[in-house]
Amino acid sequence: MNLKDYISNVDLIIFDFDGTLFQGEQFSLPIFHDCLKKVYSDYQIDKVYPSNEIILSQFGKQVEDIYNDLFGNNAFEVIKDFSECVATAELQSFQKGRGELFPNVEMILANLKNNGIKLAICTNAPKYYWEGAVQRFQLEEYFDLMMAAGLYPGKNKIWMVHQIVETLKSSYFIVVGDRYHDIEAAKANGGLSVGCKYGYGRKEIQKADIIISDITELLSIFSILKK
């Protein structure tokens, strides 16, 4: 089936969250720096302090991978203190109403939903972060199903996308995201991948079936290819 025919049959779109719908860089980067500086000082860490680029390259990964990449597998106490610092600060920020979705996200979601397309979220976010985000943006209004890795320990996006597709009984679906995990999960489950050039994994999305520079281009894909 060619691309045009596939898209004409799509009845489900599965979204990543950070870097796709949510401006996580603005929200989490200052918090990461504050907590990194704290543990670097408390534990007198002498390794090179990570740059913004290195920190952002971790966003979108599963939490365990982020901490191991930053501190190594044998830094249990450092990881524990850092993760608690980040969790507390991010949850408080959500509760104070901080953090923003990308421009036009709610308009796009409402438009897609009103046109009969089922919507889902598949994210690597930890439990506390995800629950804070859901409450902050009242995401239940838009999505038929939401799955976060923090609620399913040991499971990855390939598994979560499979569960979403099976639960919502879709044969033609799209996964929209900004990291290779999203493209991998789409391909592994027989779906179409849309890579978000504006997110964290700018170099990772080159193998996506379609690449967009702005979330509003999703509507263009449907309107142009359905003519």
H helices of the chain, where? 3-9, 24-42, 52-58, 63-71, 76-95, 105-114, 127-137, 157-167, 180-188, 217-225
pLDDT exceeds cutoff 60 at 227: no
Interhelix angle 180-188/157-167, rounded to 10 degrees, is 50
Q: Are 124 and 149 in contact (CB under 8 A)?
A: yes
Shortest CA distance to 39 belongs to which of 26, 31, 59?
Answer: 31
Task: Give the pair of three-digit tokens for residue 47.
Answer: 């390794």
Task: Give the pair of three-digit tokens for residue 176.
Answer: 């929209």
pLDDT in tens, 143-160: 999 999 999 999 999 999
With pLDDT > 90 as the criterion, what percentage of the chain qualifies?
A: 78
Shortest CA distance to 215 belongs to which of 1, 9, 15?
Answer: 15
pLDDT in tens, 81-126: 999 999 999 999 999 999 999 999 999 999 999 999 999 999 999 9
The predicted structure's pLDDT at residue 220: 87
Q: Which residues pair with 101 in a beta bridge?
A: 22
Instruction: Please give the mean pLDDT across all residues of the chain.
Output: 92
Query: Model pTM?
Result: 0.93
**Averaged over 49-76, what is the pLDDT?**
86
With pLDDT > 70 as the criterion, what percentage of the chain qualifies?
A: 96
Q: Determine the Cα–Cα distance for residues 225 and 227; give it in Å rounded to an integer.
A: 6
Q: How confident is the model at residue 224 (pLDDT cuts 50, 70, 90)?
A: very low
The predicted structure's pLDDT at residue 73: 66
Q: How would CATH label the architecture of 3-23+100-225?
A: 3-Layer(aba) Sandwich (3.40)
The predicted structure's pLDDT at residue 74: 62
pLDDT exceeds cutoff 90 at 9: yes
pLDDT in tens, 15-58: 999 999 999 999 999 999 999 999 999 999 888 999 999 999 89
Shortest CA distance to 65 belongs to which of 132, 157, 187?
Answer: 157
SS3 (DSSP) at 93: helix
Residue that the structure tokens 């598949």 belong to: 122
Shortest CA distance to 164 belongs to which of 1, 15, 3, 9?
Answer: 15
Q: Are 154 and 165 in contact (CB under 8 A)?
A: no
pLDDT in tens, 174-223: 999 999 999 999 999 999 999 999 988 778 899 999 999 999 999 888 76
Q: Are 39 and 78 in contact (CB under 8 A)?
A: yes
**Averaged over 131-147, what is the pLDDT?**
95
Shortest CA distance to 164 belongs to which of 136, 190, 145, 180?
Answer: 145
The predicted structure's pLDDT at residue 200: 85
The predicted structure's pLDDT at residue 225: 44
Q: Are 156 and 60 in contact (CB under 8 A)?
A: no
The predicted structure's pLDDT at residue 71: 86
